[in-house]
Amino acid sequence: MTEQLIMDAAKIALAPDGLFLEDVKQAKTNGTLPDYYTEIVVTPVYEDSTDRVGPFNGGHTYRLSTRYVSKTRDGGTQMRRVAKAALEFTPLTVAGGAVTTPCRFETGTGIAEDDGQYSGVDDWTVRL
């Protein structure tokens, strides 16, 4: 449930710059896959029971993965720039008004050929 709240908040932060995973599934079914889209996946991050100190104390950590898919390398690169501007160091407000910690860039892959298109993935970490 929390994963869906974070995903919905990320979609709002990234809108209106493309379609998201649910829309892509429908587009594939209809044969109308767009030239570019972003897939968003949110997963919980395992944490041991050690007490934490500092600004990320409390709550649970989640990984927000953004995958950029485009027909061109430049398109994927531009989508990454837009996502970085929207997410990096930005807290997400989820339904109900709770706010995550600012999105922290964790890791990414370069935009590369991928099954006739170009794609790359960035992973972000947030706590809620």
The answer to whether position 38 is within a domain reads yes
User: 98-109, pLDDT tens digit by residue?
Assistant: 999 999 999 999
Band of the pLDDT at 32, cuts 50, 70, 90?
confident
Mean pLDDT of the chain: 86
Q: Using CA atoms, how far apart are residues 26 and 32, in angstroms rounded to an integer?
A: 8
Residue 26 has a pLDDT of: 79
Write the DSSP symbol of residue 67. Answer: E
Q: Using CA atoms, how far apart are residues 32 and 38, in angstroms rounded to an integer?
A: 15
Residues 6 or more apart from 22 whose CB is under 8 A from it? none
The answer to whether position 35 is within a domain reads yes
pTM equals 0.84
The answer to whether position 52 is within a domain reads no
Q: How many domains does the chain have?
A: 1
Q: Which of 27-31, 101-105, 119-123 has the lowest mean pLDDT?
A: 27-31
Full residue range of the structural domain in which residue 69 is found? 2-45+59-127
Kindly list the distances between the CA atom of residue 53 and the CA atoms of 44, 48, 61, 104, 126, in Å, as whole numbers in the listed order. 20, 14, 14, 17, 16
User: 47-92, pLDDT tens digit by residue?
Assistant: 765 555 555 556 799 999 999 999 999 999 999 999 999 999 999 9
The answer to whether position 76 is within a domain reads yes
The answer to whether position 54 is within a domain reads no
CATH of the domain at 29: 3.30.2000.10
